[in-house]
Every structure is written in C-alpha cells, then in structure tokens.
Structure 1
Amino acid sequence: MDKLSVLMLSWEYPPRVIGGISPHIYFLSKYLAKQDIKAYVVTCDFPGAPAHEVIDDVEVYRVDSYKSPSPDFASWVYLMNMNMQKETATLIKKIGGKIDVIHAHDWLVANAGIGLKHIFRKPLLVTMHSTEMGRRDGLHATGEKMIHETEAWLTYEAWKVICCSDYMINHVKYVFGLPNDKLVMVPNGVNSHGYIADKDCQTFRSKFALPEEKIVLFVGRLVYEKGIHILINAVPKILSKVNAKFIIVGSGYMKEQLLNIVRSMGLEHKVLFEGFLDNDNLAKLQKCADVAVVPSLFEPFGIVALEAMAAGSPVVVSDTGGLAEIVEHDLTGVKVYPNNPDSLAWGITKVLLNTTYAQSLRNNAYRQIKEKYDWEKIAQDTKRIYEEVLGEYSKSFWA
C-alpha cells in the first residue's frame, strides 16, 4: 500500500519568513514525514534558495512568485497564485498524480489550492492561521473586504478547516458561518529542542543590557493588533518600580510612530528597536530575557508566547484569543487585561520583582510545552484528520 501523501501550499517557508506560518509549515511537514507521510511543500521562491530540495524527507518546491511589477499587493497575490497553480499542476502530473490531500495555509494560496482541488479532484483542507476581520477589527477598506471574501471562499471549498485554538474555532465559525462538523482544532507547536539552556548567557545579554538591568522582551510585528503600543505606553510605569531594558524585535508600519513616542518620553536609552534577528540570536535572547511580553489585542494562537515558554522565559500575555488558552494565570504565566498599560505594567513588574515566582512560572510552562505542544503529537493529530477526510472522500461522488 502506498504511503499517504500530502501537498502543502504556503507563500512562506524557510528561508522566506514573514510570520508564524513559515516555521509552522517547516515543523509540521517534517514531523508528518516522521509519521510515514510523503510530504510535498510548494512555496514561493527566495533569493539564494534552491528551486527544489529535500529537507528532513520533505520535498520542497519553490515556484516563480511573479516578479514583474504589480499595481498592488492583491494583484501580486493573484498572479503569484496563477504561477503556483500552474507549476504545482505540472509537479503533480510529474509524480503521477500521487497526491491524496491538498493542505492550504491561509488566504494567500487560496486560488491555487481551490484550482488544484478541482483539477485533480482531491480533498482540500485549510489551516486558518488568522482572519482579516480579526486582524483589522472589522472590515473597513476595499482590500480588506477582498481578503475576507477570499477567506470565505477558501473555507467554503475546504473539506475541513483546521484552527489552532478553540478561540479561533469560534471566531471562524462566526465570521464565515461554518457548520461545527467542518471545524477541527489542532494547536500550533514549538520545537523545545531548539532552546537548550546556555550555561552562562551573561556575555550575550551584555550586548543589549547592563548587568543591573532586567530584560523585557517583545517579539512580533510592529502592528496595531500585536499591542506593541500598549507596551511602549507601559514603559514609564514599569521603570518607576524596576530598572529594565526593553528589547523590541520585529518590524512593521508602526515603527516610526513608536520611535517618536519613545523619544518624546526621553527613553531612547531604555527601549531598543532591534528589527529582525536570525533564529540563533533570537533564541539566545529569549533564553536570557527576564520576561517575555505578548500584549496582543487579537491573537489566534500566540506562537511567540509558546516559544518564550520553551526557551524558559516567564511570559506576560493579554488575556485574549489563543493566548488565554495557552497560559494559565499564576501557573504558567501572567495574564493581564488587553489594551490596558496599567495592567500590563502590573504583570511585568510582578514577574521582575519576584525571582522565586518567575522561576515557578518557567518550570510549569516548560512542563506544559512538553505535554501539549510537541510537534510529534501535533503531526499525529493532523495525520488522523487526513485519514478521516480520505475515509469520507472515498465514499463520496467526488472520488
């Protein structure tokens, strides 16, 4: 009997890293391969990355992402999907049509995924990592409405819609009016093996902070829904109680606005905007941080919190979305009120001023990571969903 085969579509995959989808695809495909699944990943090309390579038994194909000038991002996405569908169809024919399931990740590959579903009459699954309505707190502009309609079309065409938290299950059900039996929850995961503790991180941390300064770490896009402005507004309140250095890792459209706020407070020496850090340096920083902060206003899951917990950094998070499910207050982290600088400052200082409490959070969080968010378990759950879908598919007219 041939092994089960899955085709994954994503606009990002390492070394192309835009957000959390890239590492998600990398680890999920890797651990599916360990479950004796033949995994193919089709993604966009990237300078210096080969068009085809095998990574941990996963076949990775990088296709032409359309480099000619486009009038706007939406047009580029449409043209990229045309290229992805065309080149993936050629690939599927080349391997004799041996694809059992098509698994698309988010709206950016919707057209390609839906087209391939109908060309080859194979079941389509989609993982909805987020929604435009959630990211924008409503639909305000034409582009946002276009993305929303694309997401709705993708969830309609999908055999199953996978969400990474119970919060996202309810959100997606409400936003797109989906039936219960179409939705399934599989959490995101984290590679805890990538955070082996250093014997001494003092040399590394000295690049960012003085020995007497506590490190408060934020990792994420500098955009409204990530709540970075809440943290910046909380900085003076925290500094009034504890000597700290705030390290901001990430980029986004709010950067200049945030820099101006920091300058107006005269705190440039206390808030460092580091931009993008490679995985090794980011992991070291997460291990050295005294507290990691995730003050999101909208968060489908909260992979950044999970990574911090795996690295052994105590976390302070907004009590919202998937974060509320990941973190147990006073056990594996601290929950604070969303969009509330006073509450955020309270949570951060609570961790920084009590080392025994912070160590307890570290220990409990790491134990939870190993029990609930291991990629091997997540791959097993995903394989089970594939098998259930194929069982239904085999009895349907679609087959």
Structure 2
Amino acid sequence: MNAVPAPSSPDLPGAQPSLAVAPAPARRRRVLIATDTYPPDVNGASYFTHRLAGGLAARGADVHVVCASDEGRPRTEIVGGVMVHRLWSARLPLHPTMRISLPAGLKRTMAHLIGRARPDVVHVQGHFMIGRAALAAAGGAGLPVVATNHFMPDNLFQFARVPAGLRARAGDMAWQDLTRIFARAHRVTTPTRIAARLLVDKGFPHEVEAVSCGIDLQRFQRQPQEWARRRFGLADRPTVLFVGRLDEEKRLEDLIRALPYVLNHVDAQAVLVGTGGKRQDLERLATRIGVGERVRFLGFIPDADLPQVYSAADVFAMPGVAELQSIATLEAMAAGLPIVAADAMALPHLVSGNGFLYRPGDAKEMARHLTGILTSGEAHATMAKASLAIAATHDHQRSLARFEEIYTELLA
C-alpha cells in the first residue's frame, strides 16, 4: 500500500505530526483506534487491529490509528484510507522486534491528538503505554471508549524471563493491572466467550462481550495444492502446517515430538511458518529425535501470501496454550483444513467436528489425531467441510458490523 505523508510538526520530544482534518458538510463517524502493536509487528493483535481499521474505513468511517513508530521517529501517513499516527518509540528490551512508545509526554501527546482529531469514539486495543494514555485522554475529553483485550500474561513470560516459580504471582499482578485500566472503558470486548469468561474470572467487574476477530473468507479459498507446494519449495507429501510465532507459549515441541509417531504410518512433513525465539531450539530438537529432514521452517511469510501457504497443507496444528482466539487457526479453517489443537484456553471453541483436541504436552495423542486425518480421505473431507462451515460464522464483515453497533449504542 502506498503511504501518503501528511503535514508534520517539529520533531520535539512528545510532539507529533499535525493532523490534516478537512471540514466536511456532513462528517462521517470518526473512530480513533489506539494500539501498542500495529504492522509491521507480527502478532494476532496487530493483524486484527489493522483489519479493523481498514475494514471500518472501507465501510465509510473516518479512521485514525495511533501506534508506536516502527522507525523510532514520529510520522503521520495515510495508508489504505486510514490516517496512521506513529509516535516516538524505542526498542522493547524484552522483545527482539517490537517497539514501545516512550512514556515521557505520551499523555500530553495523546490528549493533543484526540483534541485535533475530534473522534466520536475511541477504541483501545490494549492496556499498555498507548492504550492507557488513550483511556486517560478520552476520559478527560468525555469520549466513549471501547476496549478490546488481546492480552495473556503467558505471551510475555518468555521475553520477560520470569522464573517458572514466579509466573503465577506475576500473572495475577498482570491481570490486576489490566482490570484496573480497562475498568475505565465504557464497553469491553474480547474475541471469544471463553476469553470473556476468563477476564471476569480474573476480577474484571463489568460485563465483557465476545466479538470474534473475524477473517476475510474470500482471501483463503483453496488453490491447487501441488502448485502451492512448488511455490514454497516443499516436497509433495502429506503436510502438517503451523502458522504463528515460534515462541514459548506456542508449545511447538509437541508438534516436533509427535512427528516420529506420525511417520510410522504416513510419509509426512511438518511445515512451520513464522519467526520467534524458539526456532533454534526446535531445529535442534527435530535433529536430535531424527526428523530434521521432515521439518521445514519457512520463516516469515507476508500476510498477502498466507492463502497459498494454507493451500499447501493437509491439516493444521495449533499447539498453543495461550490463545484468546487464534486468527491463524481461523484462517486455516477458511482454507478448508482440518484442525488438531491443544485443549487449552479458547481453542476448543474452534474445534467441533472439524478436527480433534489433544492434551497439551501429549505428543502421542497429537500424533494419533494427525495420523487419523492424514490416512482417511473420508474423515479429511468431512472435517474440511466442517471447518469451512465454522469459519463462515466468523466473517469479518459480521465483526465489523457489531463494532459499528457498539459505537452507535455508546453514542446514543
């Protein structure tokens, strides 16, 4: 997408590029989305927020996104019909790729942006630096606020190097902080009913609504499998696919350890798409247990090319234990793939007749389910059809429409 620079303000600490807001006779609804992660960040919350912003703009809203600069210095640009305000940022010491907005002057900057943009509603995508600054600024301006939670403490434990013995206490403190910040919002959502119930169980005092992240069903229609495999240099054999971050909470060692049992019955391969801190450990594990040649690491694949990746596979594996929904699993379902997923967090709500759940850590059980799918054409066809039917209930247009209804309810 082409970026069209907007006029900028002096590069002073905390100062941001000016907003070019043209007056209109009948102003469209204006939504300001505040997020601590946005593309080029690679994670589910980033992708969801990007699709939300672009989807609302395509449906007629005037959308502003406030996020951390991917380059450090601030800038404002129009990308895909969305005005994106990137704030001063620094690398996050605990994470190899993400950046955070600097706290100095952030509240003042956010208040300035909200005052200039004059949004009708503010939609916050997290409770960290930018999210809490936006909640405070919106409160000061008397604006309605929607907050969507994508956070699980498990997502940070690897990077924060929290010892196992302290993780329960650290998790409790993290939930308490989120509850305190999100209590300032007028409406709180999260992607699934399981995730909503979790938030309430962790002490959130108000109602939480489940609104699916949604996916663009048209993007993930299957393409010729042999062609897709050639495109990514994959052998033409039964393929188990994972797409996501190669990080601790994804528990990808389950998939690697399951592969030798699968290979006793099927001439299969496992393909892992994504980057993360556990890649070298996973490569060493695959080599040590004798399946190194049957595990392919494709690294980062641009979002535009993911439909072809799913088309190359026969079954999708999601071993993660900290999924509030799992956009990658939804995408795989939209591509007609059966699912084998960990029986953890919100994954069970995506698996009903379209695959199997297994106990996290039980590689033999995972292998048994993968083998059953790969060796039965009838079972595979039945589960593929069920995946398509479930995915159809998560059309992103339905999610966008519900968020628009929430905005209208708050404005009323």
Q: What is the TM-score of this pair, normalised by structure 2?
A: 0.82
- Residues 11-160 of structure 1 mapped to structure 2, 5 A cutoff: 11-14=36-39, 16-47=40-71, 51-66=75-90, 80-82=102-104, 85-95=107-117, 98-108=118-128, 109-132=130-153, 140=167, 147-160=174-187
Q: Quote the residue 2:202 is aligned against.
A: 175
1:247 to 271, 274, 284: 271
Alpha-carbon deviations, 1:255-308, whole Å to 9, x = none?
Answer: 222222112112211112222122243321111101110122222112111011
Q: Quote the residue 2:396 is aligned against.
A: 375
Select between 361-370 and 229-238 the one with higher mean Cα deviation.
Answer: 361-370
In structure 2, what is the Cα distance between the partners aligned to 1:214 and 1:208? 14
Q: Quote the residue 2:11 is aligned against.
A: none
Shift of 1:25: 1.1
In structure 2, what is the Cα distance between the partners aligned to 1:164 and 1:196? 23
Q: What is the TM-score of this pair, normalised by structure 1?
A: 0.85
Answer whether contact 2:214 2:398 (CA < 8 A) is retained.
no
Shift of 1:71: 6.8
The residue identity in structure 1 corresponding to 2:307 is A
- Provide structure 2 residue ranges, at least 5 long, that are not aligned to the other structure: 1-25, 158-163
Shift of 1:82: 4.4
Alpha-carbon deviations, 1:166-214, whole Å to 9, x = none?
Answer: 10011000113423xx31110111112222433x342441344333x21
**Any idea what SS the aligned residue of 2:325 has?**
coil
Q: Quote the residue 2:294 is aligned against.
A: 270
Change (3 A) 1:82 1:299: same
Change (3 A) 1:377 1:17: same
In structure 2, what is the Cα distance between the partners aligned to 1:321 and 1:147? 17
Change (3 A) 1:84 1:276: farther
2:215 to 190, 193, 212: 190
Change (3 A) 1:85 1:93: same
Aligned residues: 377
Answer whether contact 1:11 1:44 (CA < 8 A) is retained.
yes
In structure 1, what is the Cα distance between the partners aligned to 2:166 and 2:325? 21
The residue identity in structure 2 corresponding to 1:341 is A
Change (3 A) 1:333 1:100: same
**Any idea what SS the aligned residue of 1:41 has?**
strand
Change (3 A) 1:55 1:333: farther
Answer whether contact 1:292 1:316 (CA < 8 A) is retained.
yes
In structure 1, what is the Cα distance between the partners aligned to 2:66 and 2:108? 12
Structure 1 residue 357 and structure 2 residue 379: aligned?
yes
Answer whether contact 2:69 2:101 (CA < 8 A) is retained.
no
In structure 2, what is the Cα distance between the partners aligned to 1:131 and 1:216? 26
Select between 116-125 and 351-360 the one with higher mean Cα deviation.
Answer: 116-125
Shift of 1:343: 1.5
Q: Quote the residue 2:13 is aligned against.
A: none
Shift of 1:237: 0.8
**Any idea what SS the aligned residue of 2:89 has?**
coil
In structure 2, what is the Cα distance between the partners aligned to 1:82 and 1:120? 20
Structure 1 residue 226 and structure 2 residue 253: aligned?
no
**Any idea what SS the aligned residue of 2:272 has?**
strand
Q: Quote the residue 2:9 is aligned against.
A: none
Change (3 A) 1:61 1:78: closer
In structure 2, what is the Cα distance between the partners aligned to 1:26 and 1:317? 26
- Provide structure 1 residue ranges, at least 5 long, that are not aligned to the other structure: 392-399
Higher helix share: 1
Change (3 A) 1:135 1:366: farther
Select between 85-94 and 253-262 the one with higher mean Cα deviation.
Answer: 85-94
1:310 to 331, 334, 339: 334
